[in-house]
């Protein structure tokens, strides 16, 4: 009699109208949104890249700003997905009750969760493309491999939107998200090779770094920017994909539990 | 098949409490069925069960011939819902809200666009077509929510407290629209705690309390079966004292609430004569109504 909250995801194409709904809202504020996506990474890249980079030697055959730009693509796609999956998804679920409205139609919770993941990943994609444009405009890289950053942004987006949605499924309110940002996102930014090579860390921290998904994103992005094929390409992709799939399942179970109340 | 909704022995337990405790109902095509009850009686939970939004802990449900919650998705193609709390999309205009909602039913944009003029007309919102939701009044939002529930041209419409928080003008317009829907053969199931709303709109009612249906029937039947036909309300400081000494003789049943005394009787004349001897008391003589039934069945204490 009871519906099983642990059931596998019920996939259907009905998630598309929900994605389109979010896209329609975004379109109304597209310009400020794109500028927002650009401001933060560009300031980091220019400030640290030229400011700090001027005092540093080359790292692994590239200037510090090029080194940093690879980290910035990853960190900025991570942030876009995380903000969307936490604050915006929570607003739709709790504050605006958009989800409740949708659930009264033939569209189900499984459709909604899938659409939230793809929507947040779409924001990552946008963010990745925006930073890529800046890298290209600044002339930091001319390798055609650069274009692989686009699908990578989507994969990083899927991974971090699924992770973020777990937190949203558990959140009593917006304040709760501070924990996630201070305990997960900030360490991720500092331990995963965004600003400096992971080898600089002591051995114990390197172990932590190795299991964090952003490390694997950076380890893919950096060689691509430098015109090289990443060394551990399959492992890195697998880690990101496994994070995405496992977190997708966990957040779905948690949302089913929450929405059955 | 004339049964649009049938439920048998529904049970829903939250944290050890039986919020819905053995409810059975049959709702037939074209009727307006009302669920009446104080706050916390289990009305909204019952609606959510019937819609398949939550799974029952016991019992069986059929909606439009489909087992619920098993085939809720298919059943909901033919269902419209007006929720208790407005959940319109604040970023969208009136027309965009209808368009986006229609897509959730898998409707093509062109089909939704074709329905828009009729829906806007029905909701008296034609002139507000391109206005964003936050700029609408409470009554307009409610009408838009009703129009949204009709976007898929449903056979059954669920309405959870459709007029709560509206002013009398706005309520009367909603009532008129709901009557038009039943006249078109739509089946309506609504919850309310406004007795006048239930009395005007509903062909049949179920009074709920503590998760159970305690009485069921047409508004007239509920009144005839549960309560004396005449009521005399007596007000004033001395009303309680007077009731104790004089009223009991002529009255079937007396209820005291603060400085008001409610006398329920089959024949009012003897009591009215008796009241003539007490000019210090104000009184009102009226036929019994649904509110009297409701208060008799569910008690006068506050529910929080």
Domain limits, chain B: 1-78+158-217, 86-153, 228-287
Residue A69 within any structural domain of the chain: yes
pLDDT at B277: 85
What average pLDDT score do residues A71-92 get?
96
The CATH topology of domain B1-78+158-217 is: Rossmann fold (3.40.50)
Question: ipTM of this complex > 0.90?
Answer: yes
Q: Do domains B1-78+158-217 and B228-287 have the same CATH topology?
A: no
* A22-26, A112-116, B162-166: segment of lowest average pLDDT: B162-166
Task: Count CB neighbours of B9 within 10 A.
Answer: 13
Q: Under an 8 A CB cutoff, do B100 and A14 touch?
A: no
Q: Is the pLDDT of residue B249 over 80?
A: no
Q: What is the pLDDT of residues B132-186, one digit of tens each?
A: 999 999 999 999 999 999 999 999 999 999 998 888 988 999 999 999 999 999 9
pTM: 0.92
Q: How far is CA B85 from the centre of its chain?
A: 14
What average pLDDT score do residues B88-110 get?
97
Q: Does the N-terminal peptide bond of residue B69 adopt cis geometry, omega within 30 degrees of 0?
A: yes
Q: What is the pLDDT of residues A151-187, one digit of tens each?
A: 999 999 999 999 999 999 999 999 999 999 999 999 9
Smallest CA–CA separation between A118 and chain B, in Å? 17
Q: Under an 8 A CB cutoff, do A104 and B88 touch?
A: no
As for how many domains chain A has, the answer is 1
Angle (nearest 5°) at CA B193 between B192 and B196? 90
Does B233 reach chain A within 8 Å, measured CB to CB?
A: no
Residue A6 within any structural domain of the chain: no
More confident residue, A1 or B107: B107
d(CA A34, CA A53): 26
Secondary structure class of B58 (helix, strand, coil): strand
Residue A10 within any structural domain of the chain: no
Task: Count CB neighbours of B153 within 10 A.
Answer: 14
Per-residue confidence at B28, pLDDT binned at 50, 70, 90? very high
Q: Which of residues 140-169 of B touch A (CB under 8 A)?
A: 148, 152
d(CA A11, CA A123): 22
Q: Is the pLDDT of residue A254 over 80?
A: yes
Q: Which residue has the tokens 């929570």?
A: A90
Task: Report which of B297, B45, B65 is spatially closest to residue B160, judged by C-alpha positions.
Answer: B45
Q: Is the pLDDT of residue B38 over 90?
A: no
What average pLDDT score do residues B214-231 get?
92
Chosen for mutation from A11, A32, A105, A255 (greatest number of chain B CBs closer than 10 Å) is: A105
Q: Is the pLDDT of residue A3 over 70?
A: no
More confident residue, B271 or B92: B92
Domain limits for position A206: 15-259
* A28-32, A36-40, A82-86: segment of lowest average pLDDT: A36-40
Does B52 reach chain A within 8 Å, measured CB to CB?
A: no
Q: Is the pLDDT of residue B273 over 90?
A: no
Residue pairs spanning A and B at CB distance below 8 A: 69
Which of the following CATH numbers is that of domain B228-287: 3.30.70, 2.60.98, 1.10.3470, 2.60.40?
A: 3.30.70
- E runs forming strands in B175-221: 187-192, 204-209, 212-217
pLDDT at A1: 40
What average pLDDT score do residues B180-204 get?
93
What average pLDDT score do residues A186-194 get?
93
């Amino acid at each position: 009699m009871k519906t099983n909250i642990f059931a596998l995801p019920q996939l259907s194409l009905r998630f598309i109208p929900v994605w389109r709904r979010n896209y329609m809202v975004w379109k109304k504020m597209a310009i400020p949104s794109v500028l927002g996506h650009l401001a933060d990474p560009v300031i980091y890249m220019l400030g640290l890249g030229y400011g700090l980079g001027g005092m540093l030697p080359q790292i692994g055959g590239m200037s510090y700003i090029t080194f940093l730009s690879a980290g910035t693509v990853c960190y900025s796609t991570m942030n876009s997905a995380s903000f969307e999956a936490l604050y915006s998804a929570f607003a739709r679920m709790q504050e605006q009750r958009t989800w409740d409205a949708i659930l009264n139609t033939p569209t189900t919770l499984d459709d909604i969760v899938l659409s939230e993941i793809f929507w947040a990943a779409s924001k990552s994609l946008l963010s990745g493309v925006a930073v890529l444009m800046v890298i290209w405009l600044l002339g930091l890289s001319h390798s055609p491999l650069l274009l692989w950053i686009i699908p990578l942004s989507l994969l990083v987006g899927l991974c971090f939107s699924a992770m973020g949605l777990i937190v949203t499924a558990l959140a009593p309110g917006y304040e709760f998200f501070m924990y996630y940002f201070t305990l997960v996102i900030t360490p991720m930014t500092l331990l995963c090779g965004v600003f400096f090579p992971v080898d600089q860390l002591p051995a114990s921290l390197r172990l932590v770094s190795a299991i964090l998904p952003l490390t694997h994103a950076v380890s893919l992005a950096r060689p691509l920017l430098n015109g090289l094929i990443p060394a551990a390409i399959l492992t890195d992709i697998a880690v990101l994909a496994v994070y995405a799939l496992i977190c997708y399942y966990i957040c779905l179970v948690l949302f089913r539990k929450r929405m059955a109340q | 098949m004339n049964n649009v909704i049938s439920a048998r022995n529904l049970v829903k337990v939250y944290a050890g409490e039986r919020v819905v405790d053995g409810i059975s109902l049959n709702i037939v095509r074209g009727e307006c069925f009302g669920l009446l009850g104080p706050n916390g009686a289990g009305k909204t939970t019952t609606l959510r069960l019937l819609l398949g939004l939550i799974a029952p802990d016991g019992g069986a449900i059929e909606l439009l011939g489909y087992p619920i919650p098993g085939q809720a998705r298919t059943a909901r193609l033919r269902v419209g819902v007006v929720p208790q709390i407005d959940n319109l999309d604040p970023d969208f205009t009136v027309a965009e809200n209808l368009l986006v909602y229609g897509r959730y039913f898998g409707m093509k944009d062109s089909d939704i666009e074709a329905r828009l003029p009729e829906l806007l007309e029905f909701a008296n919102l034609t002139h507000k077509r391109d206005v964003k939701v936050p700029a609408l009044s409470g009554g307009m939002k409610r009408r838009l929510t009703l129009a949204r529930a009709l976007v898929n041209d449903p056979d059954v419409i669920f309405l959870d407290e459709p007029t709560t928080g509206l002013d009398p003008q706005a309520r009367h317009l909603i009532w008129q629209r709901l009557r038009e829907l039943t006249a078109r053969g739509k089946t309506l199931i609504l919850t309310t705690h406004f007795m006048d709303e239930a009395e005007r709109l509903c062909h049949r009612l179920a009074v709920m309390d503590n998760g159970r249906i305690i009485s069921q029937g047409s508004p007239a039947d509920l009144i005839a079966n549960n309560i004396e036909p005449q009521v005399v309300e007596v007000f004033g400081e001395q009303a309680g004292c007077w009731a104790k000494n004089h009223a009991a003789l002529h009255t079937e049943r007396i209820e005291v609430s603060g400085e008001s005394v409610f006398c329920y009787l089959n024949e009012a004349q003897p009591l009215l004569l008796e009241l003539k001897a007490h000019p210090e008391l104000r009184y009102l003589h009226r036929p019994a109504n649904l509110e009297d039934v409701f208060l008799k069945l569910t008690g006068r204490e506050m529910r929080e």
